[in-house]
Amino acid sequence: MGARTGQEYIDRLAETRPTVEINGERVLGAIPEHPALAAVVRSYAELYDLQHSPELRDVLTYESPTSGDRVGTSFMVPHTAEDLARRGAGFKAWADHSLGTLGRTGDYLNSALMALSEAGPWFAQADARFADNAAAYYEKVREEDLLTTHTLIPPQANRAVGPGQQVDGRALGAHVVGEDDNGIVIRGARMLATIGPIADELLVFPSTVLKGTPDDAPYSFAFAINCDAPGLRFICRENLDYGRDHPLGGRFDEIDAVVVFDDVHVAWERVFMLGNPELCNGFYNDTSAVVHMAHQVTTRTTAKAEAFLGLLSLMTEAIGIEQFTHIQEDLAEVVTIVGTLHGLIRAAEADAAPNEFGVCTPAWEPLNTARNWFPKASQRLPEIVRKFGASGLMAIPTEADLAGSAREDVERYLQSAALSGPERVRLFRLAWDLSTSGFAGRQNLYEYYFFGDPVRMAGALLKATDREPYKDRVRGFLERVTESEPVPA
Ligand SMILES: Cc1cc2nc3c(=O)[nH]c(=O)nc-3n(C[C@H](O)[C@H](O)[C@H](O)COP(=O)(O)OP(=O)(O)OC[C@H]3O[C@@H](n4cnc5c(N)ncnc54)[C@H](O)[C@@H]3O)c2cc1C
């Protein structure tokens, strides 16, 4: 089958019946037709259609090594720097489509599955079947162009105790409650799965940050299930799609949902790791999955930072504020954020090398820097939009007003130094939806926690960084100056 069209994605989704609770009701009909989900489904469909557009076909797809069909570039196993650059160009083309605001496009986890599928010997440490399962699953997702999402974090009941003692000394997190000849049975919950209701498949993987201890064996696993598996339920947050007057929220609200496993049966062929906290702790690092995920994420966040720079530049032009030095200072800060991201991606791709499984893998230091730094830097971007826009972010009548009885007032009183009234309203509405609206608030939280809790990530970064050479240099300097310039008595 290979790379899907938008219609093929929608048709498959319409045939599935995941259990989804939203706004106090269970979704009974087809997912693509639900008012809270229809717009984001259409946006995802647009991404699939781009795979077939004459301009982007060669960027977004390549020839499958097994079927010969065109399949998504994010599935490509990179062997050379050119392959990595092709993967990066594919990430960028999809990210630009939503100004970087769609965070769970398929290329994110396709990248993880690609790396996992190549890490057979690592999986075989636990069980040779897990290596085969990971490789076969990757191939299925690639050839059927399935959309996957993941859920990693246990419910936030009591972070002061372990997963087995969450409430009244009992477990809440998803855990193994049974095993039979056909597979395993899972009960409990995971905190969140973005796009769960509109994805084809759910990857229930270890956390990228939380580390398991031997006591965590029942919570330690990696498996995949289809999103309409019996016993699986998604409980959605409030929908942030308030219609087309919200240029981003009205298109790109990737619904987030709590995931409940009510004795969900998972077939053995979809289990990739089981009851092995130590290996689960190394799931992403030891397989290089985290590096390829971070390559996609940093490319997407670059698209987003570039969009902020474009938007802010249009705003300063629109209302004539670029000559003020504090405005220039803030704009320059955004230029440096964009430049830093460009440099980090370029360094990661330029210093790529084969990993132990022969997969050409971007250099980790630049991408690890990006994933630790951008969650914090990203918070400045909407803050600067709010500072520049001020009351202009509220003087945004709707599209209906632009065509209705207020039209003349809008044209006269909302025009700006560089734009007509309607043009300025549309620009500032975009600014509001990227900085101030409910959609924007969710985006900020999303960027901040994207790879996990930044506080614990900082601790992990310190632990993983060899600082001895720098300490030695400073010690050497102190010795040198002390010897050559004895302290006066
Ligand atoms: C919009 C959004 C979408 C998301 N989508 C997904 C998804 O699709 N799939 C998925 O798996 N996850 C998703 N997440 C979850 C994300 O991975 C987590 O938010 C992140 O890992 C942080 O974990 P937490 O939210 O449980 O925070 P907590 O761990 O509960 O932390 C809450 C606060 O307490 C502090 N804290 C807690 N424990 C400790 C500790 N031991 N030491 C120090 N400080 C501590 C933290 O620093 C933080 O300030 C999403 C999150 C958001 C906000």
Query: What DSSP letter does each residue of 323-378 carry, written as one string?
Result: TSHHHHHHHHHHHHHHHHHHHHHHHHHHT-EE-TTS-EE--HHHHHHHHHHHHHHT
Task: Tell me if the pTM is above 0.95.
Answer: yes
- Flag whether 388 is in a domain: yes
Which pLDDT score, from 0 to 100, does residue 214 have? 84
- Flag whether 479 is in a domain: no
- Flag whether 191 is in a domain: yes
Tell me: do 329 and 239 sit in the same domain: no
Tell me: do 240 and 341 sit in the same domain: no
- Flag whether 450 is in a domain: yes
Residue nearest to atom 38 of ligand 1 (CA): 159
- Flag whether 484 is in a domain: no
- Flag whether 107 is in a domain: yes
Bridge partner residues of 257 (DSSP): 193, 236
| Euclidean distance between CA atoms 93 and 100, whole angstroms | 10
> Six-digit token pair at 422?
């309607």
Counting atoms of ligand 1 from 1, which one is nearest the CA of 446?
A: 1
In this prediction, residues 156-172 reach a mean pLDDT of 82
* Segments forming the whole domain that contains residue 232: 6-281
- Identify the DSSP state of 481: H
Tell me: do 277 and 295 sit in the same domain: no
CATH code, 32: 2.40.110.10
- What residues are in contact with ligand 1 under a 6 Å CB criterion? 149-153, 156, 159, 191-194, 209, 256, 442, 445-446, 449, 452-453, 455-456
Tell me: do 161 and 247 sit in the same domain: yes
To the nearest 10°, report the CA torsion of 445, 450, 456, 458. Answer: -100
Tell me: do 125 and 220 sit in the same domain: yes
Counting atoms of ligand 1 from 1, which one is nearest the CA of 209?
A: 21
As a three-state string, the secondary structure of 156-181 is CCCCCCCHHHCECCECCECEEEEECC
| Euclidean distance between CA atoms 105 and 111, whole angstroms | 11
Q: How many structural domains compose the chain? A: 2
How many other CB atoms sit within 10 Å of the CB of residue 142?
A: 25
Counting atoms of ligand 1 from 1, which one is nearest the CA of 207?
A: 11
Grade residue 435 by pLDDT with cuts at 50, 70 and 90: very high
Which pLDDT score, from 0 to 100, does residue 299 have? 98
Tell me: do 345 and 374 sit in the same domain: yes
Grade residue 488 by pLDDT with cuts at 50, 70 and 90: low
Last residue of a domain, one of 281, 299, 334: 281
Tell me: do 180 and 296 sit in the same domain: no
In this prediction, residues 222-236 reach a mean pLDDT of 98
Q: Is the pLDDT of residue 127 over 90?
A: yes
In this prediction, residues 298-313 reach a mean pLDDT of 98
- Flag whether 483 is in a domain: no
Tell me the per-residue pLDDT of 406-423, one tens digit each, with 9 for 90 and over. 999 999 999 999 999 999
As a three-state string, the secondary structure of 436-459 is CCHHHHHHHHHHHCCCCCHHHHHH
> Six-digit token pair at 92?
């960028």
Tell me: do 302 and 222 sit in the same domain: no
Tell me: do 39 and 179 sit in the same domain: yes
> Six-digit token pair at 40?
């984001």
CATH code, 428: 1.20.140.10
- Flag whether 196 is in a domain: yes
Cα(193) to ligand 1 centroid in Å equals: 12
